[in-house]
């Protein structure tokens, strides 16, 4: 009986020993398959990332090309500026219709200060020096008195320092012939610096076609 039991145990041991190598092979095969599957997944992810990077690079490059194409050249910018300046000049030189011209009266000549003759002469002299081909048909001062301004201003280099400004200004109007039907009124600005012994400064507009200056058109026949 004992011998039979030993024999059975030996047979069981041999069976287990024979089964173990087969089980190990199957396990190894599973692991190899799993590793291969993992490698395939990793390669797919890497390929997808590379494709995405390539797409982004292409998009950035295309955007740079588009921006370069859309950006105007210096010549285009210069042409645009010249066109804008020309539009301003055209607007400034535009003359209203006959009915509006006929309705425009002579400007007021209200100033009665003792220096009036001096101011008118000064304005006309500076005007003719700058525009010799534009003789003055009429001149006057609509303001009733000088406009005086006094203030303290900061130094541009050192805001802690201040300086005083004290000056007066007045405007002289002059009327000149524009064509056979139209005359135009312009403004000559005169200032007097009280911080510099009442020194005069006279400003005459240089570009008479500019829309940035004050001017009024009227019928030449209405100038008196």
CA separation for the pair 109, 105 (Å, rounded): 12
DSSP symbol at 42: H
CA separation for the pair 27, 89 (Å, rounded): 92
Same domain, 39 and 126: no
Q: Judge whether 89 lies within some domain.
A: no
Same domain, 27 and 109: no
172: left (phi over 0), alpha (psi -120 to 50) or beta: beta
Identify which has the larger pLDDT, 106 or 59.
106
Same domain, 46 and 106: no
Q: What is the per-residue DSSP string for 126-179? A: HHHHH-TTS-EEEEE---SS-EEEEEEEE-SS-TT-EEEEEEEEEEEEEEEE-S
Q: Judge whether 92 lies within some domain.
A: no
Q: Which segment, 28-37, 67-76, 127-136, 154-163, is predicted with the most confidence on average? A: 127-136
* Tokens 């995405």, residue located: 52
Give the burial class of 30: count Cβ atoms within 10 A of its Cβ; 0-12 exposed, 13-18 middle, 19 or more buried: exposed
Instruction: Report how many domains make up the chain.
Output: 2
Same domain, 46 and 148: no
CA separation for the pair 172, 189 (Å, rounded): 6
Please state, as a whole number, how many other Cβ atoms lie within 10 Å of the Cβ of residue 204. 20
Q: Judge whether 143 lies within some domain.
A: yes
Q: Which segment, 18-32, 42-56, 78-92, 177-191, is predicted with the most confidence on average? A: 177-191
Predicted confidence (pLDDT) per residue in 189-215, tens digit: 999 999 999 999 999 999 999 888 999
SS3 call for 219: strand
SS3 call for 95: coil
Least confident segment among 12-16, 40-44, 94-98 = 12-16
Same domain, 138 and 199: yes
Q: Give the tokens for residue 21.
A: 């190598």
Same domain, 217 and 135: yes
Please state, as a whole number, how many other Cβ atoms lie within 10 Å of the Cβ of residue 141. 24
- How far out from the chain centre does Cα 47 lie? 46
pTM of the model: 0.56
Q: Judge whether 76 lies within some domain.
A: no
SS3 call for 120: helix
Same domain, 121 and 203: yes
Instruction: Determine the structural domain holding residue 128 and report its residue range.
Output: 99-222
Query: Closest by alpha carbon to 189, among 214, 165, 211?
Result: 214
pLDDT of residue 38: 76
Same domain, 65 and 104: no
pLDDT of residue 85: 46
pLDDT of residue 55: 74
């Amino acid at each position: 009986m004992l011998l039979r039991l030993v024999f059975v145990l030996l047979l069981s041991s041999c069976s287990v020993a024979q089964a173990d190598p087969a089980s190990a092979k199957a396990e190894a095969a599973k692991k190899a398959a799993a590793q291969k599957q993992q490698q395939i997944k990793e390669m797919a992810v890497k390929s997808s990332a590379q494709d995405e990077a390539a797409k982004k690079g292409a998009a950035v490059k295309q955007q740079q090309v588009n921006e370069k194409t859309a950006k105007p050249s210096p010549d285009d910018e210069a042409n645009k500026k010249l066109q804008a300046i020309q539009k301003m000049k055209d607007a400034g030189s535009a003359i209203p219709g006959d009915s509006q011209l006929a309705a425009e009266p002579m400007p007021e000549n209200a100033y009665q200060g003792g220096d009036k003759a001096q101011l008118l002469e000064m304005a006309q002299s500076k005007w003719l020096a700058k525009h010799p081909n534009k003789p003055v048909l009429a001149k006057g001062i609509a303001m009733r008195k000088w406009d005086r301004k006094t203030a303290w201003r900061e130094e541009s280099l050192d805001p802690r320092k201040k300086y005083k400004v004290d000056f007066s200004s007045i405007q002289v109007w002059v009327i000149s012939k524009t064509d056979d039907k139209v005359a135009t009124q312009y403004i000559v600005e005169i200032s007097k610096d009280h911080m510099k012994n009442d020194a005069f400064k006279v400003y005459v507009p240089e570009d008479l076609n500019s829309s940035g200056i004050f001017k009024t058109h009227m019928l030449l026949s209405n100038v008196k």
